Structure 1
Amino acid sequence: MDVDGVSILARGIAAKGPEGVVFANLDLQVSAGALAVVAGPGGTGRTSLLLALSGRLPLITGYLDVSGHVLPAQAKAVQQLIRPARLRPGYELEDKHRVKEAILERRLISGASDRDIDAALSLVGLAPDRSALVGDLHPADQLLLAVALAVAPSPAGILVDDVDVGLPLPSRARVWAALHEVTRTGMTVLASAADAPSGDVEVIHLPAREQDWPTDVFDLLEEDTP
């Protein structure tokens, strides 16, 4: 597997959700083929930033370029480049499905071949019992299965939300090691976690307090409110 990963450049970006601003005045740069981790406590906008960087959440201000595609105008192209492995809530494997059913579903949706899926499972170090229920797998295996199914069609980047949630330290280390292996293909991995791992990681820290945001962000929000 040889992939041209996405690179990302953002300047002064901000986004809002139903309850208001989720992040603001954010600058970041992600190299192609990097493991980039949005780090911080829950409620700081980690998932929202992953959505925004992949063209799935519109910005209210700022400049965002993903491998030459400028958002929001080229959001659909960016969505094809960066595919979700897991995004919470809403994009996770179904616990009630058997592993073989999850594989078949993603294969039909993505167009990946059986060989592609076998290679992706091997890449992340997973050999699941395909007759087992997804919900019966160890949480780390569930996450790695989702990663493998996202990796199989060789997108330029993948999204992996809440990497460390519910995992003991040894399992976290195993998952981070697998994500590093994914980047060795050239694919960019955009992940979120409370704490970033050590090593070769590009860490994105989110501002956690409203007082860190410039007043013009709130002016923009008022202008954008119907």
Structure 2
Amino acid sequence: MDSTPRGAAVTAAGFGVKGPRGWAFRSIDIAAAPGSLIAVQGPSGSGRTCLLLALTGRMKSAEGTAEVAGLPLPKKIAAVRSVTALAHVPGVAELDPALTVGEHLRERALLQGRFGGSLRALLRPRRERRAEARALVDAALEAAGLDLESLPKGIRTSVRDLERLEALRLSVALALIGGPRLLAVDDTDLKLSDDERRQVWAMLRALAAAGTTVLAVCSEPPEGGEEAEDVVLVRTGRSGAAPDGAASDGAAQSTSVQSTSVQSTSVRNAAAQNAAVQNEMDDDEEGAADALAETGRA
């Protein structure tokens, strides 16, 4: 493990994940320093979520190499999970619409206190443990930009009553309670207005600037695109796929950000966008489910 106190360095070379129905993604190269904002851009079905899950130790890779905080994947996959956290990942890290904001926060703080600390920490007086939990929650809410007083019923607001941006902020806050070195956020700009997207990227940039490495899946890159000096941009896309579902050596897209070459070979054949292929793998969430099932983590 590297000696960076907060953010985790992320590197990958020829990285790929394959499920029962073919490649989710392959040939991904990344070099991001601790505290970087990594934006994974691509259309639905291009392996964005699979890449996010693989780099956080939730999915086994099939080719290439990758390291997170100096921990090689998949050899140290459990250790990688311990220094990373997921937010807003459909089917994997979701909010329960039946619970309130306060119930979510209390549950996460309880889990963090029970399993996230040392035995010595568990033996401290209850008052000290409660004060520490409140401090963790308050810091996470502030970092995520979620103002409880602005919610319809404050901390008693049900998740089902949250706006999309509020739900995303809550999901990020819950993930931050664990103090991850790498925070991975899925669907950062899904169904958000232009102003809401700007708010989300401002939040993620602030988290990265404070030291936490952020990996964010998006349909469109943050303002500045490839020219943004504070963003490492990774693109996923579609390329040739064999009839049996195996990916071909389609053309790779590439970009350079902060002297970092990031290129990706996509996993679908643009000419095969018919019902048969969509039944094989309609989107990246389905690909993620396939690969998770194969590794016994579904």
Task: Tell me, yes or no, whether TM beats 0.5.
Answer: yes
Match of 2:146 in 1: 126
Structure 2 CA distance for partners of 1:4 and 1:213, relative to 1, 3 Å: farther
Counterpart mapping for 1:158-173 below 5 A: 158-173=183-198
Would you say the 8 A contact 1:47–1:88 is kept in 2? no
- Tell me by how many angstroms 1:114 deviates: 1.2
- Corresponding letter in the other structure for 2:64: G
Following the alignment from structure 1 to structure 2, what is the Cα–Cα distance between the partners of residues 82 and 164?
A: 21
Following the alignment from structure 2 to structure 1, what is the Cα–Cα distance between the partners of residues 55 and 21?
A: 20
Deviations 1:165-199 (A, max 9, x none): 12111111111111111112200111101011024
- Tell me by how many angstroms 1:3 deviates: 5.1
Would you say the 8 A contact 1:24–1:213 is kept in 2? no
Would you say the 8 A contact 1:3–1:155 is kept in 2? no
- Corresponding letter in the other structure for 1:201: V
- Which one of the candidate residues 182, 186, 194 is aligned to 1:157? 182
Detail structure 1 runs of 4+ shifted over 4 Å in the superposition.
none
- Which one of the candidate residues 88, 94, 97 is aligned to 1:95? 97
Counterpart mapping for 1:135-214 below 5 A: 135-198=160-223, 199=228, 200-210=230-240, 213-214=248-249
Which stretch shows the higher mean deviation, 6-15 or 39-48? 6-15
- Which one of the candidate residues 69, 75, 94 is aligned to 2:77? 75
Following the alignment from structure 1 to structure 2, what is the Cα–Cα distance between the partners of residues 213 and 110?
A: 44
Would you say the 8 A contact 2:105–2:174 is kept in 1? yes
Greater Rg by CA: 2
Give the gaps of 5 or more residues in structure 1.
Answer: 219-224
Which stretch shows the higher mean deviation, 194-203 or 76-85? 194-203
Following the alignment from structure 1 to structure 2, what is the Cα–Cα distance between the partners of residues 39 and 6?
A: 20
Would you say the 8 A contact 1:39–1:196 is kept in 2? yes
Which stretch shows the higher mean deviation, 205-214 or 53-62? 205-214
SS at structure 1 position matched to 2:27: strand
- Tell me by how many angstroms 1:201 deviates: 1.4
Which stretch shows the higher mean deviation, 203-212 or 83-92? 203-212
SS at structure 2 position matched to 1:143: helix
Following the alignment from structure 1 to structure 2, what is the Cα–Cα distance between the partners of residues 76 and 213?
A: 31
Structure 2 CA distance for partners of 1:25 and 1:57, relative to 1, 3 Å: same
Would you say the 8 A contact 2:108–2:177 is kept in 1? no
Match of 1:221 in 2: none
**How many pairs does the alignment contain?**
217
Following the alignment from structure 1 to structure 2, what is the Cα–Cα distance between the partners of residues 210 and 190?
A: 27
Match of 1:222 in 2: none
Following the alignment from structure 2 to structure 1, what is the Cα–Cα distance between the partners of residues 211 and 5?
A: 5
- Which one of the candidate residues 91, 96, 114 is aligned to 2:134? 114
Following the alignment from structure 1 to structure 2, what is the Cα–Cα distance between the partners of residues 210 and 108?
A: 47
SS at structure 2 position matched to 1:23: strand
Structure 2 CA distance for partners of 1:80 and 1:132, relative to 1, 3 Å: same
Match of 2:38 in 1: 36
Would you say the 8 A contact 1:82–1:158 is kept in 2? yes
- Corresponding letter in the other structure for 2:191: G
- Corresponding letter in the other structure for 2:98: K
- Which one of the candidate residues 84, 87, 109 is aligned to 2:86? 84
- Which one of the candidate residues 59, 81, 106 is aligned to 1:104? 106
Task: State the identity as a percent.
Answer: 35
Give the gaps of 5 or more residues in structure 2.
Answer: 114-131, 149-153, 242-246, 251-264, 268-293
- Tell me by how many angstroms 1:213 deviates: 4.4
Q: CA RMSD in A?
A: 2.2
Match of 2:47 in 1: 45
SS at structure 1 position matched to 2:169: helix
Would you say the 8 A contact 2:43–2:236 is kept in 1? no
After TM superposition, the score normalised by the length of structure 1 is: 0.89
